[in-house]
């Protein structure tokens, strides 16, 4: 993350500590929203959304937090990020 912060500093009027503070704040806010089950839209950066899988249950009364088997977070990049990945040049790295 240090490299990202230093690179962002080059493109903004913010100092390195300011950028680090903002990224920490965004991280905390995103964590809170995801914990509440909310989708987090970060503009051109993309979308984060919570996921979970659970054990099947025959009735609603059998469903509880113990039914949850796996939790996670998915990321869907913005169009500009996807475009830059499509336009990136790729080449095979030789075997060593």
- The 10s digit of each residue's pLDDT in 53-88 is 999 999 999 999 899 999 999 999 999 999 999 898
Q: What is the pLDDT of residue 89?
A: 82
In a shared domain, residues 47 and 63: yes
| 17 shares its domain with 50 | no
How far, in Å, are 50, 73, 76, 85 from residue 79 at the CA level?
Answer: 20, 19, 9, 10
pLDDT digits (tens, 9 = 90+) for 18-36: 999 999 999 999 999 999 9
What pLDDT score does 93 carry?
A: 86
37 phi/psi in degrees, rounded to 5: 85, 15
User: Looking at the structure, do residues 82 and 47 belong to the same domain, yes or no?
Assistant: yes
Q: Are residues 49 and 70 in the same domain?
A: yes
Q: What total of structural domains would you count in the chain?
A: 2
Strand partners, 71: 52
Give the three-state DSSP class for 35. Answer: helix
**pTM of the entire predicted model:** 0.77
First to last CA, the chain: 29
**How much is the pLDDT for 4?**
92
Q: What's the domain range around 49?
A: 39-87
Q: Which residue would you say has higher pLDDT here, 49 or 91?
A: 49
The verdict on residue 96 lying in a domain is no
32 lies in the same domain as 61: no
User: Is there a single domain that holds both residue 28 and residue 44?
Assistant: no
Instruction: Name the helix (H) or strand (E) containing 69.
Output: strand 68-77
Any domain includes 9: yes
Count of beta carbons in the 10 Å neighbourhood of residue 40: 19
The sign of the CA dihedral 33, 34, 39, 44 is positive
Domain shared by 43 and 33, yes or no: no
């Amino acid at each position: 993350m240090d490299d990202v912060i230093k690179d962002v500093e080059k493109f903004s009027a913010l100092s390195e500590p300011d950028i680090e503070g903002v990224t920490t704040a965004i991280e905390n806010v995103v964590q809170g929203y995801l914990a509440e089950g909310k989708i987090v839209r970060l503009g051109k950066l993309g979308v984060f959304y919570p996921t979970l899988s659970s054990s099947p249950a025959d009735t609603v009364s059998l469903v509880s937090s113990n039914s949850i088997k796996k939790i996670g977070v998915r990321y869907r990049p913005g169009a500009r990020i996807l475009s830059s990945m499509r336009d990136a040049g790729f080449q095979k790295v030789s075997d060593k």
